[in-house]
Amino acid sequence: MVKKRAARLFLISGRVQGVGYRAFAVNAARGIGVVGWARNLADGRVEVHAIGTAEQLEELEACLRSGPRFADVQSVEVSEAPASGMREFSIRS
């Protein structure tokens, strides 16, 4: 049985720019099998759009809440997002 795919948008706040957070998100997502993208926002947050099964998205969310070694994640806002036909996980500028 094929599991239904969903999409979520994560907005991560704290010290998340200049610490390798987007690269961390790419590695975590690819390891979990999620597609989508990560980008820095002008207000200092990182935005992650991810598509995968509910279980994969929950696993990714746990990774995003911890972040890379030098990050200090203060909060992660999660909302539903439209799914698109992305084929990989990448960094957007």
Task: Give me the active site residues, please.
Answer: 22, 40
| Alpha-carbon span 33 to 52, nearest angstrom | 7
* Phi and psi, residue 53, nearest 5°: -75, 165
Which tokens sit at 53? 């099964």
Q: Are 68 and 21 in contact (CB under 8 A)?
A: yes
